[in-house]
Structure 1
């Protein structure tokens, strides 16, 4: 005959653990520290948990879920009724602060999720108004299809999530000034590898850095697309004939001066 059968009002540690959803080891620990001690005995001398003990365990689980330390839970459960509200009120204040912090994190995550998918948190109309009538909003979707699974896109999305229309307007204006300076330098005969050429290449790399961290090796890879990708080539050549090839030239020369071989550079 089992101990449970001999003591129907009490439960063994194994049965109690299964009932409340904790391990036997946990109950042994709570017993050892005096948090919840089985108050009954079986006919064989085994310690058993009474219904009141099980109820105390449930209260421990509730307070533990609220984030209270075990010693604080013990003090709370053993306190006189008038004294029990003070730690609960304190815990409630801490929970309210925690909820507020979590809500703030949630509010920050939502635009990051949207930006990861959309690439930019601007409507098509806002994009055209900021970036000019030559801008195609579909380019963002195409970029996502091409690079959406890369760390650079994730970094771009994270930065985009926190940018306002005014931020994008400033970026667009800076890019316009840079592009005009590149075209003027090309017309003036600035040569790749010159001090002015290297400075312009660094300004261009910094402009890419507004979206994601761009190494000199990655910059070289982008320079290749300016020549090999018809879309990029058309964009730069519409500003100044041959600008795409010249830009690639100053990028390569600047990278070489920084110890990067343009012929073997990879996306790292």
Structure 2
């Protein structure tokens, strides 16, 4: 099953402009591109889009969604189960808010008297609990797995990794898309694939974690302030080109 971008838009209600944006930022890259430049989406692409839209309904920012979807620890079936749980909780909160507004209408009419506490039942401005749970499931799991691999390094591997960080830190003030920067990132990609398996998407997602997770950010920036941001940007545009 393959579908053109216009048909995906009609099917889902997502504008073609938004779909193009998802492609541009590497969130949802169609599996096929015709010679004329038309985007063609596969069944798997549509499944990913559905998952993205569930996350968006749960108020996840796009950059967080990308990190989760590209995490080596991400599990699609597990994500659907968690999203269902999250949506049920969100529905309960909305029901409480609807009840609060119905009471408020009666209060305004003078038919009941609400307490101050009752006026604010259902509101929740704390940090997104859904995002935190997803991060715990996949984001933190990816971090822990990465740290576990590093802890198992021998002396030679650890020294090579530190050497690469120092070399990358020297490049951090360059344009991440420049040939010199991408050459360094290509070497970093090859090194990581000696100790694990990273697709380009997972590699890009790992770069985002370098910035989002304070543990990673602190460790990378110790080699040079701003290294974590440089790595995120340079890893995000890497496409496997060898130099």
**Common topology (TM > 0.5):** no
Give me the TM-score of the superposition, normalised by structure 2: 0.38
Structure with max Cα Rg: 1
Give me the TM-score of the superposition, normalised by structure 1: 0.34
